Amino acid sequence: MVLDNSSRQFDGLIGHDAGSSLTLTDVLRILVSKGTDVHVALRDVEHNHDFLRRLGSEPRIHTYLSADLHEKILVGWDWTLKGSMNFTWNGLQRNEESIDLQVGPTVASTQRLELRTRWLGGGE
């Protein structure tokens, strides 16, 4: 679980039909259902293939695989969240991890440009 909605505090954002606890795939699918393009880059290992199967195939979900990828990053319109933390139960609840939230459109657009250059070859 990456989002605890047991108090229904996120219903205004994710809808009243959302569950009380959501996985990363649940959250990403909700974003896609609201018109967001989601780009997911993963290390090319079997448990990540399982994640992709759970995520499903949608035109707005773009996936990229790399044998050596290890960074963890989420980028929104005006924020960036990155660090050592895996977006898993252990990463969120158990392991000693670090995560850095940077807020601001300049930081986020710079990060999006860097990721676009790496994963899309400069543009989309």
Tens of pLDDT, residues 22-78: 788 888 998 899 899 999 999 999 988 999 999 999 999 999 999 988 888 889 999
State the pLDDT at residue 49.
93
CA angle at 93 for the pair 87 and 97, rounded to the nearest 5°? 65
Residues 64 and 103 in one domain: no
**pTM for this prediction:** 0.75
Residues 39 and 94 in one domain: no
Burial class (CB in 10 A: 0-12, 13-18, 19+), 10: middle
Residues 35 and 53 in one domain: yes
Residues 59 and 79 in one domain: no
Residues 100 and 58 in one domain: no
Tens of pLDDT, residues 74-107: 899 999 988 876 666 555 666 677 788 999 999 9
Residues 57 and 93 in one domain: no
Domain count, the chain: 2
Residues 89 and 117 in one domain: yes
Q: What is the rounded distance in angstroms from the CA atom of residue 102 to the CA atom of residue 89?
A: 23
Residue 82: domain span: 71-124
Residues 30 and 80 in one domain: no
Residues 62 and 77 in one domain: no
Residues 11 and 62 in one domain: yes
